[in-house]
Structure 1
Amino acid sequence: MTDTGPAEHETPDGLLGWCLVANVARETSRGEGGLEIQHGTKHFRAGTLLWLAPARWDAGSCRRHAVGRHRGNSRRYVNMVVCVGDLENFRVKGVYSEALVRSLNGYDHDPAAPRTLQDPWTRERAQSLADSWNRHREPLFIEGRPYAHPRISVPNPPPAEIQLDGETLHLARYGTRGAHYSRTPPPVEWIPEP
């Protein structure tokens, strides 16, 4: 019996490069303290496939340049900077479309070489990043900050208290989009004496 699938070193016909992709999460949090839950983001519907280009500039540790089909016009690709916390199901996928290559290249696109990615992912680098972002750890939000802490995540279920930079943080709430911690301890329940 022979293996009919392509070997790791073989390149599929028509492949223009590899890219890290993800889907927009079903629920994203917005507003003060992340209390407002919405489906998808302002620009992308929930479940939309986004192609994440390698970082060309520092958009912040929790933000990435992405290419996808806009909520209002699903025929054309648009470039946006998105929050990684609004994405799920990271994986590596092959690029086969010249229109997608043009969008991923952005201003660096060379019309003389329309099928060439200017800053391509290697398959191993993209897979490594996908694996690290897919770990089942919960993002950590701190009261007063709109985005997740860039360096720290907590296990599922999250602990009631954590130490961060010499400060004790208390679990305020835990939802579908992560653990939210507060600097103030939870109120003590008053129990009347019989």
Structure 2
Amino acid sequence: MTDTDPTEEEAPDGLLGWCLVANVAQETASGEGGLDIRRGTKHFSAGTLLWIPPVRWDPGHGRWRAVGRHRGDGRRYVNMVVRADHLENFRVKGVYSEGLVRGLNGYRHDPAAPRTLQNPWTRERAQSWADARNDLREPVFVDDRPYALPRVSVPNPPPAEIQVDGETLHLAHYGPRGARYSRTPPPVEWTPEP
């Protein structure tokens, strides 16, 4: 996916930097087994634009720091840690707002330089992250164990059958934690003869 914003050479006046952005997914799964489905997240409505600064610290596997307008107070930018799988439609956008710069900088914001991003993305790096996140692949588990060598992944949604090392694997379950395949074929439904 490419962005339609101007390139570095043709950057418009007022551009303060580039940033990776994404929208909060329409439906997010949480709770035990991912069975609690809700619109958006606790802090952000579905479709909210979130600005994702470059990673300075790791808040946990599959979680990223994001800046956006809170569900309850849509005027201010707030910093939150969100699950990466609750985000969709990754792309690159230009930063023009001093308020957004303050949110992206966080505790490193320098009031003497309110228009300076402390840890900026390059446009190319942000675009490569966006492309990688938009082409998600699901991990494969065979008989409830990760399929180790070679590392296998499938597209989303996963196919009903895959061939790995000459072996046919059958889709047994698909959920928010990946595709579960089995070596045993699914049972054939019995139908009585008329």
State the TM bucket, normalised to the shorter chain: 0.7 to 0.9
- The answer on 1:112 being equivalent to 2:112 is yes
The alpha-carbon distance between structure 1 residues 44 and 184, as it changes in their structure 2 partners (threshold 3 A), is farther
Report the counterpart of residue 30 of structure 2 in structure 1.
30
State how far apart, in whole Å, the 2-side matches of 1:138 and 1:53 are.
23
Equivalent positions of 1:82-97 (< 5 A) are: 82-97=82-97
- Give the match's secondary structure for 2:112: coil
Deviations 1:48-90 (A, max 9, x none): 0000010010123411110001111111111001111110010
User: Does the 8 Å contact 2:20/2:130 carry over to 1?
Assistant: yes
Match of 1:17 in 2: 17
Q: Which stretches in structure 2 are left out of the alignment for 5+ residues?
A: 145-150, 164-168
Which piece of structure 1 moves more, 101-110 or 53-62? 53-62
Q: How many residues were matched structurally?
A: 179
Q: Does 1:102 align with 2:83?
A: no
Counterpart amino acid of residue 180 in structure 2: Y
Contact (CA 8 Å) 2:21, 2:52: kept in 1 or not?
A: yes
Q: Alignment RMSD, CA only?
A: 3.3
Q: Secondary structure at the match of 2:26?
A: coil
Give the match for residue 121 of structure 1. 121
For 2:180, the equivalent position in structure 1 comes to 181
C-alpha displacement at 1:114, in angstroms? 0.7
CA contact (8 A) 1:138 1:178 kept: no
Query: Is this contact kept in 1: 2:172–2:182, CA < 8 A?
Result: no
Paired with 1:36 and 1:90, the residues of 2 have a C-alpha distance of 24
Q: Distance in 1 between matches of 2:79 and 2:152?
A: 28
Partner residue in 2 for 1:139: 138
Are the structure 2 counterparts of residues 174 and 17 from structure 1 closer, same or farther at C-alpha, using a change threshold of 3 Å?
same
Residues 99, 51 of structure 1: CA spacing in aligned structure 2 closer, same or farther, 3 A cutoff?
Answer: same
What is the identity, as a one-letter code, of the residue corresponding to 1:80?
M
* Paired letter, 1:36: D
Residue type matched to 1:30 in 2? S
Taking a change above 3 Å as real, the CA distance of residues 18 and 6 of structure 1, as seen in their structure-2 partners, is closer
Answer with 152-161 or 32-41: which moved more. 152-161
Q: Structure 1 residues 182, 12: closer, same or farther in 2, change over 3 A?
A: same
**Which residue of structure 2 aligns with residue 148 of structure 1?**
none
Instruction: Point out the more displaced range, 55-64 or 151-160.
Output: 151-160
Q: Deviations over 1:26-45 (max 9, x none)?
A: 11111111122111111110
Q: Which amino acid is 1:62 matched to?
A: G
Which 5+ residue runs of structure 1 have no aligned equivalent? Answer: 145-150, 164-168
Per-residue deviation at 1:171?
Answer: 3.7
Distance 2:140 2:27 in 1: 16
Higher mean alpha-carbon deviation, 30-39 vs 43-52, is at 30-39
TM-score (norm: length of structure 1): 0.76
